[in-house]
Structure formats: C-alpha cells, structure tokens
Amino acid sequence: MTQTTALRARTLRAASATALLLALCVGATHAQNTPQAPGPKPWQDRTLSPDQRASLLDKELTVDERLGLLHGPMAIPFFPGMKLPEGAIGSAGYIAGVPRLGIPAQQESDASLGVTNPGNVRPGDTATALPSSLLLAATFNTDLAYKGGVVVGQEARSRGINVQLAGGVNLVRDPRGGRNFEYAGEDPLLAGHIAGAAIKGIQSQNLIATMKHFAVNDQETGRNFANSVISEAAMRESDLLAFQIAHEVGQPGSVMCAYNLVNGAYACGNDFLLNKVLKTDWGFKGYVMSDWGAVKATDFALKGLDQQSGEQLDKQVWFGDPLKAAVQTGAVPASRVSDMSRRILRSMFAAGLFDAPLAVNVDRAANAEVSRQTAAEGIVLLKNEGNLLPLAASAKTILVVGGHADAGVLSGGGSSQVTADAAQIALPVGGEGMMAAFNRMNFHPSSPLKALKERLPQTTVRFDTGRYAAEAARKAKEADLVIVFANQWMAEGDDAPDLSLPNGQDALIAALAEANPKTVVVLQTGGAVAMPWLKQTPAVVEAWYSGDRGGEAIADVLTGKVNPSGHLPVTFPTAITQYPRADLPGLGLPDGQVFDVRYDEGSDVGYRRFAALGQKALFPFGHGLSYTTFAYSDVKVTGGDTLSVSFKVTNTGSVRGKDAPQVYLNRRPNGPAKRLIAFSKVDLAPGQSTTVTLSADMRLLSRFDAKAQKWVQPAGRYEITVAQDAEDTGLTASAQMKAATRKP
Ligand code: BGC
C-alpha cells in the first residue's frame, strides 16, 4: 500500500467510525429529546428474552450513557481524601446507572464467603461469614454450596448490592497459594460443580454473580506480572474445564478476568481466553469485568473485556474518554461498544435487576445454621489412631492450647474477608508493602474453647495460649488429653513461602506430643501444610477457615455430635519437592518485571501428577475419615455412548454418617490417566445401604485436541475405580466405550 492509499484508508476508517458514532449520537439524542410515550417501554416487557430487552434498551442509550456503564471506581475510601461516588452504598465497586431509563447502578461487593464490609465503609455492618471455599469443596456436597450461595445472595440483595464478586474457580496448583482458601480445590470436576452451585444459589436471589479469576491465576506471588505459560490442551483439560463446568452449572452473569498474563497476553486483554474460549466456544452471554487495576489499554475492549472495574487502580480510565476517542478514530468499532453495554444490560435483565422486588427477608439465624452445617460437613478428620476421637466423656482434664481458640476461629484475609460480628478480634499483621496497613488476622467470635466447655460439662477444660512451648508442655503432662490449635493465616497478594506452620507452631505441637501422647491437632489453615510431627500425634483434624459458627462445628466434630464427613479437595504433600515448582516463580523480583510460570505439568494438577509419577501423598486428595466405616460393593459399569457406574455403599459401622464415594478413571485406551470422573455424598444409618448411580462427563475421559479444536475420546476400554480417595485401590471395573468427539 502506498503512503497516500494508507492515509486514505485510515481517513476512511476514521470517517466511517465517526459517522457511526454520529449516527449513534443522533439516534440517542433523538431518543433523549423525543418525549417518551407514556406507559410501559418496550424493554419492560417481561415476556421478551433478556437478549431482546437488552437490545431494545441499549438502543436508547446516548454514547456517554453507554460508556458510563463500562467503567467505574472502587467504592471504598481506599486513598486518603477519596470520597464515595454519589449513590454508592459503599462496597468493592460501583458503576453508575442511567436513572432516566430506570437502569440501576451496579453496586458490587465481594465475595464468595459472604458480603464484605471493606474498611468498615458501611459502619458497623456485619454479615454471615461462611467457611472458606476450600472447606466448602471438602464437603463434596453441591447442595450445601447452593445453600451457601442463597445466603450470600440474600444478604447482598438486602443491602442493595446487585453484583456479588463471588465464584472463585481457580485450580489449586500450588499448596502455598495465598488464595487457595477462596477456591474450590485442585480438581476441575469438583471445583466446577461446587463453584457452579454456589453461583446458582447467589443468582437465585436476583443478582449477578461473578465467576473469577479467569484464568490460570494460580499463584499470588507477582500476580500482576506473572505470565502463566501453558499449552491450550493442558489448559482446556484443567483450569479452563473447572471454569467451563462452573459456567454450565451456574450461568454467571459476569466473569472477572485475572491480573496475570496467560501465554504472553494479560488475562483481561486476552483475545484467546475472552473472545474465543469464553464468548465463542462456551457461548457466554454475560459480560467480562476486569479485576481491580487489571486494565492496561483501551484495546482490551477488542480482546473481549466489557467493563473496567476499580478504575482508580489503573493508569487511566481507559473505558471512558480514551475508549470514546478510539471509537472516533475507528480503532474500536462502535458496534463493539454497543455489544459491551448490551451484555451488561442482558445480565442485569437475566438476573432480574429490573423486575424483582428489592425487599428480601433475611433470617440471620437460619443463615448462621447454613454456615454451621457447612463447617460441620467440611472439616476433615485426617488421622484418628486408636479412635482417640470422638473425645471420651471419661476425660477428666483437657488442655486446649494455642490458635486463639479462646477468642474464636481464624478467617482468611484480603478482599473476601467478611466482618461477621462487631465483636470479632482483628490483629494487625504488620510488615511492609501496600497491604501491610490493611492486613488483619480476623477471628470470628465463635470460640472452640467455649464450645468445648459447653459440650463437656463434666470435664475440666483448661487453656494455654501456647506462647511458651515448655510451659504448655508442662501443663500438657498434667492433662488426660491435649487439643492444640495451629493457625496459618493466608491472604490475597501473598503466597506462603513454604509448608510450615508459622510462629514456631510446629515446634509447639512436637513439644506437646512429646509431653502427652494423647495430643489432638486441629489445623486452621488456608490449605495444605507439612506435618513434621505427624508420627507423634494420634489425631489430626483439618478445620480450614470454618466461618462464623466454626467453633461450634469444630467442637461438634471433636465430641462426636457431628460425625466428620469432609474429604480433602487438595493433596497434602509430604514436602514441596513433590510439586513441580519447589521455588516459587517470581519470588523476590521487583514489581513490574514480567516473569514466566511454566505449567509444564500440563493438566496433571495435584493428585493427577502424583499418580502419574507414582508419588505418595501425606494425605491424598479425597481422603477423610469418619467415626463409622463404609464399604463399597456391586460395582457395575456400562459403556457405549456414556460411561455409567453404579455401586452399593454400606455403612458398616455403628454410628450414622455421611460418605463421599469417588469414581476415578485409572486408564484409558491410550494409557494411564488418573481423573476424578464422578462423586456423590450419601447419608447412611448403621447397617444401611444405598445404590449410587453416576455417569461420567466425556471431557474427563478425553484429551483435548487443540489442532482439531475438539475433545477426543478414543474407542476402547476405560478402567475406573470406586474409591475413598485418589490413592485408594478401591473396586476396579472397566467398560468398552465408543469413539466420540465434542466441541470445545
Ligand atoms: C481481587 C478480586 C476482588 C476485587 C474487588 C481484587 O483485588 O482480586 O477478587 O473481587 O479486588 O475487591
């Protein structure tokens, strides 16, 4: 092209874009100036689909109104002197509405564990604090995930929040991940179904849920500069599959793109992730919002981003004047801008933001009960030698040590931190960096010590803070039994440097176990930790972050009022060297320096890689003990088009209990492959049996063929195991399957 023709082409492009913009302005000005006919507007017709209504309403918007829907600020006074935008109720973010057309403002709040109150922006406002999402995943119970979603949705809506930034689906690829507690584990099937059900529950209350952080945002170290390097096939079979399933189950109105880069492009400006995978392949009809401060340029709009959130954290309000200018020059087509606002309006219609009455009844007592039930079902009994648990009523003295168990239960930090009750204890974490001033170690005021005392009126229950190991050990010798609480506080923005328990707690546990062989360890951690003292401690309970009724739930499990039924949604390794990246990529690098995180393990995340390498975990994925025992029998597998498995589960012990039977693929025609392909949760009285029938999603039997752009399931024999965990040899059977393919 000669210079003149290039210039002419550019001028033409600009001219036609300007003409389009003018046409939009003229149309909109006309809409604005023409007196609106009285009576119902076409987009108010509830018999029309959300798509139709959104298109009708979008046409009424002026350019500025349209752009106004595409960006907004944080709605917390984060910076000195910052004021809340007018109309904002105070929460993570705010997008102004268009009152003339009855378009409500978007009031966005975090997160999956409940409605947060960052910086006490709504003075004194408290909400139900659900247990961590990792604990929720440990329930293996999608009904509980849905119920928790209803709690969050209802409490959000009652405050005028209409977009809940909830639905964390990132896979736990590293046990040190700072946000692992906000996610639903290392397996795509489990994570997808748990997060999907939670999203569905939230949206049942007429608001938008936001599935996040899309995608491969699997470490916090250098989260704004980490470039996740992973092949398309590996991504589709792991991280993306979790999101895909959650999308299918939950139909979220919104998706939040992540901070990191994926294969060289920022996740929020990633054409492959947003335009191809999400919008084209999966048919996502909602809108993509950025994570707070994750937008780098106006052309992210072309890459699939629809809305810029928390815009003060970005260099510019890219989706304001710069986007308007980009439309004028033709760099961004006006039709794309219309698509962006239409998608937002479509989700608002689909969620019922225009139609559903605002008033909702919130029953905080009932919600607290959901929180307690979830905790009770997600706490995992890892070890119970000699049936030390449940606590024998004969114990005369119990010494409880550490973990601030007298005050409450630990919760995770960062944007998902819920203020459960005004009385909660918040200890400043300190340190350096931007987050140092904000980080608080919060304890929900549900004291396990108090709950234990209530449940064991005949026992003398004493408490030692655990500050001095020798002194605690001296007291431990005098007690019949010791329960030590060990805490690992995790928060957004930082990964744990290793798998140890901080502040000398490993040494404290070892000292206690030496002083008293009947030492029970209760872990309150963000995820997996190493247990150098494991051989000396007969009983270990993983309580995660157990939410605002956690103390009661922990005491119920310890005393046997609740029979534990949680199962690990992540592998607990013996050492970090069992993982592909023993040194955390990016650790110590200056801000701004982009670095690679190579996911060379591909789709073999967690237990899948342990199986491929023949590694034994400290506790495998899926592991969880009960005070009763379960047996599996009568396994039948049918193949052909769909792989279906049926089997009998029997409670062979003497107390009622819940089991989470798991079905794994072991081998497919082209070789071994460990994959969770189905799971269930059953509740059985002693001696009772039930037959469970489950079928496998073909994507878990297949490989993704990136070249052909499809899932490919070769014909042949598929071997499966009905098992109690990923390492259990269980009951094995196989079926002959037909060849099959499926679109991405
Ligand atoms: C987090 C998001 C959160 C947002 C708004 C970001 O820092 O990554 O998960 O929704 O802040 O608070």
Which of 239, 252, 284, 292 lies closest to 268 in space, CA to CA? Answer: 292
The neighbouring-strand residues paired with 520 are: 483, 539
* Stated length of the chain: 744
Q: Quick one: DSSP state of residue 48?
A: S
The answer to whether the CB of 501 is under 6 A from ligand 1 is no
Could you read off the pLDDT of 172-190 as tens digits, one per residue? 999 999 999 999 999 999 9
Which of 193, 306, 207 lies closest to 244 in space, CA to CA? Answer: 193
- Evaluated on CA atoms 196, 199, 203, 209, the torsion sign reads negative
Q: What are phi and psi of 67, to 5 degrees?
A: -65, -35
Q: To 5 degrees, how large is the angle CA 185–CA 188–CA 194?
A: 65
Residue 177 has a pLDDT of: 98
| Confidence grade of residue 331 (pLDDT, cut at 50, 70, 90) | very high
Query: What would the mean pLDDT of 349-368 be, rounded to a whole number?
Result: 91
Could you read off the pLDDT of 192-204 as tens digits, one per residue? 999 999 999 999 9
The answer to whether the CB of 78 falls within 8 A of the CB of 119 is yes
CA torsion angle 95 51 248 302 (round to 10): -60
Residue 77 has a pLDDT of: 84
Query: By three-state DSSP, how is residue 334 classified?
Result: helix
Give distance in angstroms: CA of 259 to centre of ligand 1.
10
- List the structure tokens of 726: 């990923």
The answer to whether the CB of 165 is under 6 A from ligand 1 is yes
Residue 357 has a pLDDT of: 74
User: Ligand 1, atom 5: nearest CA belongs to which residue?
Assistant: 92
- List the structure tokens of 183: 């996610």
Query: What would the mean pLDDT of 479-495 be, rounded to a whole number?
Result: 97
CB-side neighbour CA atoms (13 Å) of 675: 24
Query: What would the mean pLDDT of 504-508 be, rounded to a whole number?
Result: 98
Active-site residue flag, 299: no
In testing the pocket of ligand 1, which one of 170, 415, 434 has its CB within 8 Å of the most ligand atoms?
Answer: 415
What radius of gyration do the chain's Cα atoms show? 27
What pTM was computed for the model?
Answer: 0.95
The three-state DSSP-derived secondary structure of 492-548 is CCCCCCCCCCCCCHHHHHHHHHHHCCCEEEEEECCCCCCCCCHHHCCEEEECCCCHH
Residue 394 has a pLDDT of: 81
| Active-site hit among 58, 187, 291, 548 | 291
Between CA 129 and CA 543 the distance in angstroms is 15
Give distance in angstroms: CA of 292 to centre of ligand 1.
6
Q: What are phi and psi of 621, to 5 degrees?
A: -50, 135
Between CA 682 and CA 691 the distance in angstroms is 10
Give distance in angstroms: CA of 192 to centre of ligand 1.
20
Residue 57 has pLDDT above 50, yes or no: yes
One-letter amino acid at 316 equals: Q
User: Ligand 1, atom 6: nearest CA belongs to which residue?
Assistant: 292
| Confidence grade of residue 37 (pLDDT, cut at 50, 70, 90) | low
Could you read off the pLDDT of 137-167 as tens digits, one per residue? 999 999 999 999 999 999 999 999 999 999 9
Q: What is the side-by-side strand order in the sheet with 481-487?
A: 380-384, 539-542, 519-524, 481-487, 397-401, 460-464
Residue 401 has a pLDDT of: 98
Task: Give the H/E segment covering residue 455.
Answer: helix 448-455
Between CA 299 and CA 297 the distance in angstroms is 5
The answer to whether the CB of 666 is under 6 A from ligand 1 is no
- List the structure tokens of 161: 């929040």
Average model confidence (pLDDT) for the chain?
Answer: 93
Name residues whose C-beta falls within 8 Å of residue 133's C-beta, 6 or more positions apart in sequence. Answer: 112, 113, 168, 181, 182, 183, 184, 194, 195, 198
Could you read off the pLDDT of 556-597 as tens digits, one per residue? 999 999 999 999 999 999 999 999 999 999 999 999 999 999
Q: Quick one: DSSP state of residue 586?
A: T
Query: What would the mean pLDDT of 612-618 be, rounded to a whole number?
Result: 98
Percent of the chain with pLDDT over 90: 90
User: Ligand 1, atom 11: nearest CA belongs to which residue?
Assistant: 292
The answer to whether the CB of 92 is under 6 A from ligand 1 is yes
Between CA 390 and CA 564 the distance in angstroms is 10
Between CA 660 and CA 137 the distance in angstroms is 12
Task: Give the H/E segment covering residue 336.
Answer: helix 334-351
Outline where DSSP puts E strands in 559-715: 595-598, 630-638, 644-651, 657-659, 662-668, 671-679, 682-684, 689-695, 703-705, 710-713
One-letter amino acid at 630 equals: F
If you search the block for the tokens 């601030």, which residue do you land on? 404
The answer to whether the CB of 212 is under 6 A from ligand 1 is yes
In testing the pocket of ligand 1, which one of 152, 180, 492 has its CB within 8 Å of the most ligand atoms?
Answer: 492
Could you read off the pLDDT of 705-740 as tens digits, one per residue? 999 999 999 999 999 999 999 999 999 999 999 999
Between CA 380 and CA 529 the distance in angstroms is 14
Peptide bond into 444 cis (omega under 30): no
Using a 10 angstrom Cβ sphere, with 0-12 exposed, 13-18 middle and 19 or more buried, the burial of residue 675 is buried
Name residues whose C-beta falls within 8 Å of residue 108's C-beta, 6 or more positions apart in sequence. Answer: 75, 91, 92, 93, 94, 95, 161, 163, 164, 165, 210, 309
- List the structure tokens of 417: 């931190």
Q: Quick one: DSSP state of residue 103?
A: B
Residue 360 has a pLDDT of: 81
Name residues whose C-beta falls within 8 Å of residue 362's C-beta, 6 or more positions apart in sequence. Answer: 154, 155, 158
Instruction: Please provide the distance, in angstroms rounded to a whole number, between the alpha carbons at the two ends of the chain.
Output: 39
If you search the block for the tokens 């039977």, which residue do you land on? 661
Q: Quick one: DSSP state of residue 578?
A: G
Give distance in angstroms: CA of 291 to centre of ligand 1.
6
The neighbouring-strand residues paired with 461 are: 398
